[in-house]
Structure 1
Amino acid sequence: MDLFAGPGGLDVAAKGLGLTVNGIEWDDNAYATRLAAGLEGPQGDVRKFHPEDFPDATILAGGPPCQTFTVAGTGAGRRALDTVLKFVRRMADDDDVAADLAELDDERTGLVLEPLRWALDAKKPYDVIVLEQVPSVLPVWNAYAEVLKERGYSVDTDVLRTEEYGVPQTRRRAILIARLNGVAKLPAPTHQPYRKGRRPDPAHRHPSWVDMRDTLDRKEPFVVVSNYGTGGDPKERGRRNWDEPSATVTGKISRNRVMTPDESKELPRFTHAEAGLLQTFPRDYPWSGKDIAQQIGNAIPPLLAKRVLEAALGLAKPPVSKAEPGMFDFAVAR
């Protein structure tokens, strides 16, 4: 059961592992992509659904909207963090917080509590719970952990770096894994961490991070000049060479300039398909509707989701190589 399923980042990973998935998504555009990809689940507001609507689900997953918690967002969630943590405790004590949630400055902040509602309301406890969000939500996941432990779960939480799991992109995500049976443990890294200005260490126990050169079909060297962190000075913009992982893929990826290494000539900017590959979606993923760049930027990278699900379900980890991202076999529905 995938809450806030988006265009299907976690669902692609789950299907690749042979799982059956139902995902709830309210956004018209993301839902259009889901339909084109043949992903199951209703369109609507997660708050209008209940665990009994999906009685066969044994795994609960979710990545609530991050806009109020992310640094680039409104900040309403970060400002309300102490209040949200109190709501977690009240929900654990069977206190109805719905009216108080409605008083928050931004209603999206309260959505971070929806997975807890589902976990607490389920007549039969879920075997496994997997949650992801931006790093600033880690305190909320830690509060979840205390509640879930009281109900017999083993829980592990932390912030993971996507490039350490083979994703050709630096992106940090707060992850929670809970298991009703067995010990919950986050996945161990499979690749080296990226450090600005440093090359991969050939003596490291893990292979190099996966870079943009090994991911995209471009034949000529390039440098990506970021639209972020300028401070008004173009010289201060972040840069990534093609033999490095991409910076975090966001809905504004098309604003990043792709240049020759000496920055004397501008090259074609990243397409939606290329942005999807940097997120490890399949090469032929049927992006549909509008705001496709935003759909891609909002999604969890399927490869990270796959590693997290493998750990959550206690599945054997496959051999690691520098195989291309977008590696999942995926039959597009027609």
Structure 2
Amino acid sequence: MLYRFIDLFAGIGGIRTAFEPYGECVFSCEWDIKAQETYEANFGEKPVGDIRQVNEKDVPDHDILLAGFPCQPFSIAGVSKKKSLGREHGFLDETQGTLFFDIARILKEKKPQAFLLENVKNLKSHDKGKTFKVIMNVLEGLGYTVYAEVLNAKGLVPQNRERIYIVGFKNPLRFEFPEIPNKGPALYTILEKNVDEKYTLSDKLWKYLQDYKEKHSKKGNGFGYGLADLNSYTRTLSARYYKDGSEILIPQGDDKNPRKLTPRECARLQGFPETFKIVVSNTAAYKQFGNSVAVPVVSLIAEKMIQAIERNEILVGVKEGRLEYATK
């Protein structure tokens, strides 16, 4: 069976990429203009812009709703930034915190049989757990059986990337998140062979980063650049990578300054296929891949979701402390 799905807060289509083997995307929405360019180049359609302007009744009927809704109101960095600006965060943030409710109104109107939401790990602990509790209450109040788990991508791609995934079903279906391997591919396996010199840090920037790290280490802080271990995995790739690349630097030997990842290496770090087209500037590409999902993780979740739908094991009760399921 092929499933109809919609792609909200679509970014450059990482979640869509994982679900395409199972059906057809019938609607996409993404407000960032440069991300729209990348999305259109790869999927042949330009997403609708601001979701707040979308009438839920106009959204096509679909089986599965997908949404990597904005992280900033819930992430540690986002919260710190908003506090420093004297702005509210979470559900009190009028521009992004309430975007979750655009998902909720579409779920309420269209009643798809399943959904997958993705966000930063810190969503679960934000505001002492109150934010996450509100989200779960809303989803369950809409009649969904909801599962949530934090998964780390480092067993599938060479990157330490923890994200929370929230899966829901209109029927009380049996569902288990995939087991992610403890050890994945090494960083060197995704590096390009011949890299342009423009990715090597200038003497000035390299000295600045070294001085910055030394200054903070004397204060007992861990701030500073991250020189990657080519036989292991990297730190989390972030949207700020375009600034100086400091969180993931590639060593090039004692006689040469380290370098930044190339955009193609960032795509590989997130598990995008080699056929994925990068059509924007390096600055925009770094932002886009930093904001994206690790595609192989979502692929495993997609497989488990489709299996749960097709297996159709319904929770019928609890017996002697164990959940009991029956196939409808």
TM-score, normalised to structure 2, is 0.72
2:292 to 273, 289, 299: 299
Paired position in structure 1 for 2:165: 175
* Equivalent residue runs for 1:1-334 within 5 Å: 1-40=6-45, 42-75=47-80, 76=82, 80-81=89-90, 84=91, 104-105=92-93, 107-122=95-110, 125-138=111-124, 139=129, 140-164=131-155, 166-183=156-173, 185-192=175-182, 208-218=183-193, 230=213, 232-233=215-216, 237=224, 238-254=226-242, 255-256=245-246, 257-260=249-252, 263-290=254-281, 291-314=284-307
Which secondary structure state, in structure 1, belongs to the residue aligned with residue 25 of structure 2?
A: coil
Alignment RMSD, CA only? 3.1
Larger Rg: 2
Alpha-carbon distance in 1 for matches of 2:119, 2:55: 21
Alpha-carbon distance in 2 for matches of 1:311, 1:50: 31
Deviation at 1:167, TM superposition (A): 2.4
Alpha-carbon distance in 2 for matches of 1:74, 1:149: 26
Structure 2 gap segments, 5+ residues each: 1-5, 196-200, 310-328
Residue 34 and residue 174 in structure 1: after superposition, are their counterparts in 2 closer, same or farther (change >3 A)? same
Is the 1:155–1:183 contact (alpha carbons within 8 Å) kept by the matching residues of 2? Answer: no
Residue 219 and residue 44 in structure 1: after superposition, are their counterparts in 2 closer, same or farther (change >3 A)? closer
1:210-259 superposed Cα distances (whole Å, 9 cap, x missing partner): 22122234499xxx99x799474489543330111121111233523322
Alpha-carbon distance in 2 for matches of 1:105, 1:187: 31
Which secondary structure state, in structure 1, belongs to the residue aligned with residue 260 of structure 2?
A: coil
The one-letter code sitting in structure 2 at the alignment partner of 1:310 is E
Is the 1:178–1:312 contact (alpha carbons within 8 Å) kept by the matching residues of 2? Answer: no
TM-score, normalised to structure 1, is 0.71
Is the 2:17–2:295 contact (alpha carbons within 8 Å) kept by the matching residues of 1? Answer: yes
Question: Structure 1 or 2: larger strand share?
Answer: 2
Paired position in structure 2 for 1:329: none
Which has the larger displacement, 57-66 or 264-273? Answer: 264-273
Bigger RCO (CA 8 Å, 6+ sep): 1
Question: Structure 1 or 2: larger helix share?
Answer: 2
